[in-house]
C-alpha cells in the first residue's frame, strides 16, 4: 500500500509541521527533514562546514550516545506509517532509526532537558535503514499523538521524514452554527483522486495559506480534446452543508482554467466515490474564472443537504492554487 495515496503527511512543513529540536545538525539543518519531495543533490555545492546536503545530518559522533530530533506534527493525529527517506545519503546514512511519540495539549520548550523528560511511547522500535532509500514502516499504535522523536543510531543523515496518518479533530467542540473550511487538510479533508496532475500535485489544492508559486497548486497538462473537463475529488473533513466556496488561481496567469463547477455527494465509502458509483448533485453550475484571482461563490451555490465529498471540475484544463469549502457540519 502506498501511504501517500490514502493518508496525510502529518509532519509536512506545508501543512504546518515543525522541527523543534535536534541534538546535532552540524552538516544539514533539521528543518529540511519535513520539506516537500525527497531532497535534491548538488554535486559541487559546499558550505564552510562541509558538503551541502538536503536533509538533516549530524556530525560523526566521537562520544557515547546517539542523535535525535523532535518534530511537532501539523495537527494531532493517528499514525499508520512512516517513510524515513535517506535519499542521497549513501556513505553517511544512519544504520538504524527508531521513533517515539507523545500527545501534548500544550507545546513544550525546545530544549533537550524538557523534551527528554516527556513520557515518550515507542511506536517504531529500532529498525534498519538502507542508504539512499525510502525506508517504509507500518505503525501499529493508533493512539492520537502530537509530537514525534526520531532517533538515529549513532549519527548521520536523513533526507526526509514522512508521517502518514489521519488528522484528529475534536468535532464535539465545534458549534452547530460555526463556519469552517471543510475542505482544509488541517481539518482532516483529503484529496482522494483526480484525472490528471501532470504539473503539480492534487494535495496542494487543500493546503493552508496562499500558494507560494505556480508549482504550489493543482495543475493539469494541456488537453487537446474538445470540451475537455479535468476534475478532482475531495473528501470533506466532516459531513456538512457548504455556504461559501473560494477558488483561487493565484500565480496561474497564462494557464488558469476558463471555468469551473462543483458537485457533491453523500457516501460512507471513499472507494465508491472514487469509482463514480455514487449520485452527484450539482452545487454550482459552470462559472467563469480569471487569471491570478480569488473567486468567491455564495449566491451561486444551490440548496443541498449534507455532503461528504465534492468533485471540483475545471474546463478545459489548467491550474488552481487553492480551493476553500466553507460550511457548517451536519
Asked if the model's pLDDT at residue 200 lies above 80, the reply is yes
- The helix (H) or strand (E) run that includes residue 97 is strand 96-102
pTM for the full predicted model: 0.93
Taking a C-beta distance cutoff of 8 angstroms, is the pair 11, 34 a contact? yes
Grid coordinates representing 210 are 496562499
Domain annotation for the chain: domains and CATH numbers = 3-167 (2.60.120.260), 173-329 (2.60.120.260)
Asked if the model's pLDDT at residue 2 lies above 90, the reply is no
Asked if the model's pLDDT at residue 1 lies above 70, the reply is no
Binning pLDDT at 50, 70 and 90, where does residue 159 land? very high
Q: Are strands 56-57 and 157-158 parallel, antiparallel or unpaired?
A: antiparallel
Binning pLDDT at 50, 70 and 90, where does residue 26 land? very high
Residue with cell 479533508: 189
Rounded average pLDDT over 118-145: 97
Question: Which residue, among 115, 122, 105, has the nearest Cα to 30 in the 3D structure?
Answer: 115
- Res 111: pLDDT: 81
Question: Which residue, among 156, 254, 248, has the nearest Cα to 206 in the 3D structure?
Answer: 248
Q: Percentage of the chain with pLDDT > 70? A: 100
Neighbour count for residue 96 (Cβ, 10 Å): 15
Grid coordinates representing 62 are 566521537
- Res 107: pLDDT: 81
Question: Which residue, among 57, 61, 47, 151, has the nearest Cα to 99 in the 3D structure?
Answer: 151
- Res 108: pLDDT: 81
Question: Distance (Å, rounded) from C-alpha 126 to C-alpha 163?
Answer: 16
* Phi and psi at residue 71, to the nearest 5°: -115, 130
Question: Distance (Å, rounded) from C-alpha 122 to C-alpha 145?
Answer: 12
Q: How far apart are the first and last CA of the chain?
A: 32
Rounded average pLDDT over 62-75: 96
- Res 112: pLDDT: 87
Q: What mean pLDDT value characterizes the chain?
A: 96
Amino acid at each position: 500500500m502506498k501511504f501517500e495515496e490514502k493518508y496525510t503527511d502529518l509532519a509536512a512543513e506545508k501543512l504546518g509541521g515543525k522541527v523543534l529540536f535536534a541534538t546535532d545538525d552540524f552538516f544539514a539543518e533539521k528543518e529540511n527533514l519535513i520539506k516537500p519531495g525527497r531532497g535534491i543533490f548538488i554535486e559541487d555545492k559546499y558550505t564552510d562546514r562541509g558538503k551541502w546536503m538536503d536533509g538533516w545530518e549530524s556530525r560523526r559522533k566521537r562520544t557515547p550516545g546517539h542523535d535525535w530530533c523532535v518534530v511537532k506534527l501539523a495537527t494531532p493525529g493517528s499514525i499508520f506509517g512512516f517513510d524515513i527517506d535517506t535519499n542521497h545519503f549513501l556513505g553517511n546514512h544512519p544504520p538504524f532509526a527508531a521513533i517515539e511519540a507523545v500527545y501534548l495539549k500544550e507545546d513544550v520548550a525546545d530544549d533537550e532537558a524538557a523534551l527528554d523528560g516527556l513520557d515518550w511511547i515507542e511506536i517504531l522500535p529500532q529498525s534498519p535503514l538502507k542508504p539512499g532509500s525510502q525506508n517504509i514502516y507500518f505503525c501499529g499504535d493508533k493512539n492520537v499523538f502530537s509530537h514525534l522523536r526520531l532517533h538515529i543510531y549513532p549519527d548521520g543523515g536523513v533526507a526526509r521524514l514522512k508521517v502518514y496518518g489521519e488528522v484528529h479533530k475534536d468535532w464535539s467542540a465545534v458549534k452547530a452554527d460555526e463556519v469552517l473550511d471543510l475542505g482544509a487538510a488541517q481539518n482532516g479533508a483529503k484529496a482522494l483522486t483526480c484525472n490528471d496532475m501532470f504539473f503539480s500535485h492534487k494535495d496542494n489544492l487543500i493546503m493552508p495559506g496562499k500558494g507560494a508559486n505556480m508549482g504550489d497548486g493543482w495543475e493539469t497538462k494541456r488537453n487537446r480534446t474538445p470540451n475537455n473537463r479535468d476534475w478532482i475529488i475531495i473528501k470533506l473533513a466532516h459531513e456538512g452543508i457548504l455556504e461559501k466556496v473560494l477558488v483561487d488561481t493565484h500565480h496561474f496567469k497564462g494557464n488558469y482554467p476558463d471555468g469551473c463547477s462543483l458537485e457533491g455527494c453523500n457516501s460512507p465509502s471513499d472507494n465508491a466515490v472514487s469509482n463514480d458509483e455514487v449520485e452527484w448533485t450539482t452545487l454550482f453550475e459552470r462559472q467563469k474564472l480569471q487569471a491570478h484571482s480569488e473567486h468567491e461563490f455564495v449566491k451561486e451555490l444551490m440548496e443541498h443537504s449534507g455532503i461528504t465529498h465534492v468533485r471540483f471540475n475545471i474546463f478545459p484544463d489548467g491550474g488552481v492554487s487553492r480551493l476553500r469549502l466553507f460550511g457548517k457540519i451536519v
